[in-house]
Amino acid sequence: MSAERLERLHAYLRDATGTEGYVGAVALIARHGRIVDWQAYGYRDLARREPLRRDDIFRIYSMTKTVTTVAVLMLMEEGKLSLDDPLSRYLPGFEHPRVLMSDGSERPAARPVTLHALLTHTAGYPAGLKGDEAAVKRMESIDPHAAADLRGFAERMSRVPLAADPGSRFGYDGASLELVARVVEVVSGESFERFLRERIFQPLDMRDTGFAVPEAKRARVVDITTMGANGKLRIADGPSAAHPGAPLNAYASGAGGLYSTAADYARFAQMLLGHGSLDGHTVLGRKTVELMLRNHLAMLDPPVNQFNAGEGFGLGGYVVLDPARRGQPGSPGQFGWSGAASTYYTIDPHEDLLAILLLQHLPREDAAKDLPRLSRGFYALVYQALQP
């Protein structure tokens, strides 16, 4: 990569974390298995007194979903489950899924909810799409997120109707990944937290990744902000904002519960780029990673996700189908995802490249009154720095 061209990226992120911008950011880029750029910008705290460090800890929210997917695939490789298994094989109450119609009536679903449908967000659960209003309201009344553990979450979800037939649409939701996290517990006989720690984090030497941050490390947790009504940044709502390092959920959320660092997540991403292995530890087999990085929306027309006409969806993240239609530099087969608090990662097998950008800001739905999104500019500046 061109050191001169990477200076453009540095200038972009220094400007983005200026006085009127994001509090701070960490960016890490690796190519051919080596870190080529790893910088911290701005501050750890909203008061802008503590400079951000490269090893500071972020809430990665939905970047957790890729980790959860890897856990499921590990059990598949052990012969303990199959992706086309119905959810009802492992969890009670899901034997006869029903679809809630817009008029309030219900009908039997056309097919069962499978583990594959859950991993690809095609199970039909309420996702805030047009026509989902009645199902969303029903789900809110049942409130599975108020459960104390994954068992309780699954029990509540067994009473939530679908908004569409499984396999009929892509609808991004978090509940699907909580359900497969519970499947990991049932199949493995271990808590989800312990499975991730012993089977993924410890082998990959991800020392700062978990569902809560130990007291001794909590000074490294970055403040999480949102834009106030007065146009000024403020600390966001929620227990982890008031008490950085506290669990993000009452249960170990497979959809969005992890804290991590740029270095830790880079090791996880490098494992995927390395066909499932890193530093002598094999987490997944090569063909399983190939399966993970392929588009799994072939049953849809067009076979794309709800966010971009140039992207499909693999197991645990987007898959770039057409960089031109997507509207930004990249490669077919590029894979990645993001988190709600402005965290992003991508891996590009064609370029043997990974890039991570971590911030801690919950965007407003009214983007015009918020800080500008950085991901498209970040990735454009990463790719323009590539050399032959």
pLDDT of residue 388: 83
**Residue 186 or 103, more confident:** 186
Arithmetic mean of pLDDT, 321-350: 98
- C-alpha span between 102 and 287 (Å, rounded): 42
Burial grade of 243 (CB within 10 A; 0-12, 13-18, 19 or more): exposed
Q: What mean pLDDT value characterizes the chain?
A: 97
pLDDT of residue 365: 83
Arithmetic mean of pLDDT, 323-331: 97
CA angle 150, 220, 381 (to 5 degrees): 90
Delimit the domains of the chain by residue range: 3-70+195-384, 81-192
- Whether 67 and 76 have beta carbons less than 8 Å apart is answered as no
- Whether 212 and 110 have beta carbons less than 8 Å apart is answered as no
Arithmetic mean of pLDDT, 278-289: 98
Q: Which of 319, 274, 326 minimizes the C-alpha distance to 294? A: 319
N-terminal to C-terminal alpha carbon distance within the chain: 8
- CATH assignment, 3-70+195-384: 3.40.710.10
Arithmetic mean of pLDDT, 274-291: 98
Residue 366 clears pLDDT 90, i.e. is over it: no
pLDDT of residue 286: 98
Report the run of H or E that residue 263 belongs to, with start and end: helix 262-273
pLDDT of residue 283: 98
- C-alpha span between 179 and 182 (Å, rounded): 5
